[in-house]
Amino acid sequence: MKAFLMHKDQDFDLERELPPNEQALTQDLALPILFEAMALDDQFLLEMARKAVLSSLSDLDSILYRQNILKDCLKNPSIVRDIYNLVVESIENRQKQWWATRYPSTIMYSAVEALKMFVGQLKKLRTIADQHADKFDSEGFARFFAMLVAELDDEYFTRIEEYLRELKLPKGVLVSAELGKGNKAANFVLHKTRDEKQSWLGRILGRQPPAYSYRLSPRDEIGARAMSDLRDRGLNLVANVVAQSTDHILSFFQMLRTELAFYVGCLNLHEQLIQKGEPACFPVPAEPTQRKRSFHGLYDVCLALSVTQKVVGNDMNADQNDLVIITGANQGGKSTFLRGIGQAQLMMQAGMFVPAESFSAGVCNGIFTHFRREEDATMRSGKLAEELSRMNDIADNITPNSMLLFNESFASTYERDGSEIARQITMALVEKGIRVFFVTHLYEFAHGLFDSKMKNAIFLRAKRRPDGTRTFKLIEDEPLRTSYGEDLYHRILTNVGATPT
């Protein structure tokens, strides 16, 4: 049995390697806040959220496949949680029943008890399918419920319950063996015991196979151990088969738990955003070559989860644009906007909803970040050298149709040098078909690109009111040399108690 709730034709690989830049993405985009909101202190949900979000899908059909399943989950959250809780309960019950042993009789007893428990849980799962399958519309859930109905029919339960009754060996153990080398017993076979339904006359007059019998004395401990060994050798093959059957059902529950965990995490996140009054929408993904990127009301989901007040969303239409330069005053919302871009792209390519009122974007082959780092004692070289080293690592892994987010990069040297470095790197990336978002205070870099009248570039600036207060809105406008010099002017005058005229 297969769930196929994360991919159409394969299980989700929880052990797969994450992209080489996963640590930088996690740090720069504040993703631990997102993962913790999805997990709600559940370590398994936390790990699944991390793996699913960072393992971006690049195929449009796969993204839409997950989106449709998630839409079903949002319509039927209690049913999905019931299935997930049933699966978790099944796995935990098996862990309580299992203990390590080398004795076939003990292995068989443990496996039979586990099978009995699993059969009860499978019946509950089948009941959920019978009662609620018509409430789900997605291809994934339709196939999942159809599989449960087909695989877990009445005949299956009747047959497996009959086997379980026999495996309890209520009539004892009937084992045959042959003499092997050195007259040692070999080729042990467990047989079904005689059918008790045979009439008494048939049992008396019926033809019986020749046999010799031997009764063991109750005080014969050595004989008892020998008989126990013979019993275990007879049960060994059957015990292994029963244990494998148990493991097969357990693996189904484990994979179902893994795949449902992603959707339960999404339900947890969605409920928190709704409680805060923040919008969430299903994005419209496009092929990488379509160069689409437009949205309305996009916000930093991790900021929204961290503060009590409602956060400010932003709008942008950057269709057919590969370069977005973002300038403006400090604390004007530039970095927040940049994180929102990266978070939404990752969430879209995980098959999730995104933090916006509407969102449409082309799928990226990879998502990379190059954010300013605070200098610390562990750095073995200067700050600029460290930035260039990280840029070199990105260049080794980035491919066309990827996206790279720069946040105040290359500002650790002189303005002219930093601007030239930023310009050359940016132009090389854009020429290779890589989408670049660049938050910068390097005026020569930003205004130089603005003056060049690039057709595939747009320029955003953090909006500010005349009194210096921030709106946290970004508008399409020319970079200004005085983007934060005016802030310094106001701050100095305020500190000395003067009133600007």
Question: Taking the model in full, what pTM does it have?
Answer: 0.85
Residue 452 CA: distances (Å) to CA of 384, 430, 457: 26, 14, 10
- What are the boundaries of each domain within the chain? 1-16+55-195+215-275, 284-495
pLDDT tens-place string over residues 45-61: 999 999 999 999 999 99
152 touches 122 (CB < 8 A) = yes
Domain 284-495 -> CATH class: alpha beta
Q: Which position has the token pair 């443990």? A: 110
Q: How confident is residue 247, by pLDDT bands cut at 50, 70 and 90?
A: confident
Q: How confident is residue 73, by pLDDT bands cut at 50, 70 and 90?
A: very high
pLDDT tens-place string over residues 355-405: 999 999 999 999 999 999 876 555 555 789 999 999 999 999 999 999 999
The answer to which of 1-5, 181-185, 241-245, 299-303 has the lowest mean pLDDT is 181-185
**Rg, the chain, Cα only:** 33
Of 111 and 396, the structure prediction assigns the larger pLDDT to 396
Distance (Å, rounded) from C-alpha 239 to C-alpha 230?
Answer: 14
The reported pLDDT for the residue numbered 501 is 40
Phi, psi of 321 (to 5 degrees): -110, 135
Distance (Å, rounded) from C-alpha 318 to C-alpha 455?
Answer: 11
The answer to which of 56-70, 84-98, 247-261, 469-483 has the lowest mean pLDDT is 469-483
Distance (Å, rounded) from C-alpha 111 to C-alpha 245?
Answer: 8
The reported pLDDT for the residue numbered 115 is 84
What DSSP designation does 497 have?
A: T
Strand locations in 55-127 (E): none
The reported pLDDT for the residue numbered 181 is 77
The reported pLDDT for the residue numbered 142 is 97
pLDDT tens-place string over residues 453-465: 999 999 999 988 8
Token pair for 341:
């871009």
Instruction: State mean pLDDT over 268-279.
Output: 97
pLDDT tens-place string over residues 470-500: 888 999 999 987 654 454 455 455 555 544 4
Instruction: State mean pLDDT over 210-232.
Output: 65
Instruction: State mean pLDDT over 157-173.
Output: 71
Distance (Å, rounded) from C-alpha 189 to C-alpha 432?
Answer: 69
**pLDDT exceeds cutoff 80 at 17:** yes
Q: Is the dihedral of CA 454, 359, 33, 48 positive or negative?
A: negative
**pLDDT exceeds cutoff 50 at 428:** yes
Q: How confident is residue 332, by pLDDT bands cut at 50, 70 and 90?
A: confident
Q: How confident is residue 107, by pLDDT bands cut at 50, 70 and 90?
A: low
Of 185 and 399, the structure prediction assigns the larger pLDDT to 399
The reported pLDDT for the residue numbered 499 is 47
Distance (Å, rounded) from C-alpha 97 to C-alpha 74?
Answer: 35
145 touches 134 (CB < 8 A) = no
Rounded percentage of the chain residues whose pLDDT exceeds 70: 78
Instruction: State mean pLDDT over 219-245.
Output: 65
**pLDDT exceeds cutoff 60 at 149:** yes
In this structure, are strands 435-439 and 403-407 parallel, antiparallel, or unpaired?
A: parallel
